Chain A
């Protein structure tokens, strides 16, 4: 518990900032909803553009708006945060040399990583949850009736994606000792991946052609339609989490901390 508390307190200020950014971004979206939903402005968006967010046909106006709000960038916030926290777990400690202070204590490396991965899960949940809460309850407070159970599932999908990206980042970070290099690299990859997904969708590249695109594993329109995550997406995300964590624990246990 001491190791958990220490890393949580180290991340606390960042957590509050990212929760605030996510909540404010979502709040700006919910407060702009009325003209789109009541004024039927969504109908003026070209179908090809809407299709970039998934299959929107048949969705109610509120559900369609929520899907677009998420697709417009809200989706990006928990994933970027996930990558930053993942890089803080080991790479930042190595870069700032505090890892010596930590590993000189009588703890097993597995204990250190377990506590930190637990913080990672909690914090990603908090940031994703803050966005979800604003979208869910501020839309409802304004009298919009969405299919909330489907929205919940969409956020579960988003949470899994953020965790998967964090797990993969953590695994790769075991070979990166420079924090600023890691941050630039992974924020670049995630941001590029986010926009590439829409470029590829806009170019009507098939799902098979987008297998390496991380954001293809959150099918916004599909989940809002069905209220469930596609089995294939679920399997890939869970497998990525499991593999990322397995590699991370193994690599951290064997990592050599030279001068």
Chain B
């Protein structure tokens, strides 16, 4: 049984955007990344999975249940974190969680306390007095407190500081170790690389590839700027270097693939400064699409 199995899932808006003929299989126990630029259809797919949007075509099963006709049963086993979560501002964090757990019929609050301690949040404060990051933390607890079998996260780390992102990553890995399935959308490549086993790339509402994260990494592009003590050497012949430009002591280029050969080459030179940056996501996708992606 797959955690999520979508066949020909289509949900288009009037402006033509949305998702079309999406086929997707998420295995139980894996952390599955769903990667794409803003507007590619990530949130639409998640909303369709959760029954907020009804598909115009196709079918989807989650945890062996029909996600449309058995939506309520599905949602009882799913934890969901929206991309910009909104809970009830007039309630405290604890009251929001008590409400959600009461509706779910969960009496045990031990997970709430454990998660709140891990994320260092004060659940006694009203939501409207909390920062965006702290509201996000409460929403994370709300998504995980009932110990769901499938965790759906829509751009989960937006608004979290790096330390909390690290804690969140640990939580996700622990959930996976307990046999839970995680489906997370993101437009942050590094986040997906760190957490996910497999990744689907969506573009214009269609899945263009589903692959192991390792294969995605091979397609990875870096923007490199190097400043040398002397005139910049010609690195255009180094494997993986593209779009090489030299200007006096400075060199700029993109680098594709594993970075070891480049480091070895640069180690032979006298460097003043070196910057290796992630390119804009569109550039990553362009390189990824041009590379043909991997097989399913």
Residue numbers of A with Cβ under 8 A of B are 2-3, 6, 9-10, 96-98, 100-101, 103-108, 254, 256-259
Contact = CB atoms under 8 A, between A and B. Distances in A.
A104 B78 CA distance: 8
A108 B100 contact: no
Interface string B64-103: 0000000011011010101011111111000010011011
A105 B75 contact: yes
B103 A3 contact: yes
A104 B86 contact: no
Nearest to B105: A106
Contacts of B89: 96
Interface stretch (B47-55, B118-126, B167-175, B186-194): B47-55
Given A103-B52, A104-B80, 15 more contacts: A9-B91, A96-B89, A101-B82, A101-B139, A103-B51, A105-B103, A106-B104, A107-B72, A107-B103, A256-B53, A257-B53, A258-B52, A258-B53, A259-B43, A259-B47
B75 A104 contact: yes
Contacts of B60: none
A254 B52 CA distance: 9
A204 B87 CA distance: 52
B9 interface: no
A51 to B, nearest CB: 46
Nearest to A104: B80
Contacts, number: 67
B152 to A, nearest CB: 9
Given A10-B88, A259-B44, A105 B52 contact: no
Nearest to A97: B86
Interface of B: 13, 43-44, 47, 50-54, 72-73, 75-76, 78, 80, 82, 84-91, 96, 99-100, 102-104, 139, 142
A101 B87 contact: yes
Contacts of B76: 106
Most chain B Cβ neighbours within 10 Å, of A2, A6, A106: A106
Given A106-B73, A107-B72, A257-B53, A96 B86 contact: yes
B103 A106 contact: yes
Contact of A101 (B78, B100, B102): B100
Contact of B52 (A9, A107, A256): A256
Contacts of B44: 258-259
What 3 pairs across the A-B complex have the smallest Cβ distances? A106-B76, A97-B86, A257-B52
19 contacts: A3-B103, A10-B88, A10-B90, A96-B89, A98-B87, A98-B88, A101-B139, A103-B50, A104-B80, A104-B82, A106-B72, A106-B103, A256-B54, A257-B53, A258-B13, A258-B44, A258-B53, A259-B43, A259-B44
A105 B90 contact: no
A106 B149 CA distance: 14
Most chain A Cβ neighbours within 10 Å, of B47, B52, B90: B52
A237 B216 CA distance: 64
A97 B139 CA distance: 13
A257 B84 contact: no
B50 A104 contact: yes
Contacts of B82: 97, 100-101, 104
A126 B72 CA distance: 33
A2 B95 CA distance: 12
Nearest to A254: B54
Contact of B103 (A2, A10, A96, A97): A2
A257 B47 contact: yes
Given A10-B88, A106-B72, A100 B52 contact: yes
A98 B87 CA distance: 5
B72 A108 contact: yes
Nearest to B102: A2
Nearest to B87: A101
A253 to B, nearest CB: 10
A9 B47 CA distance: 28
B70 to A, nearest CB: 11
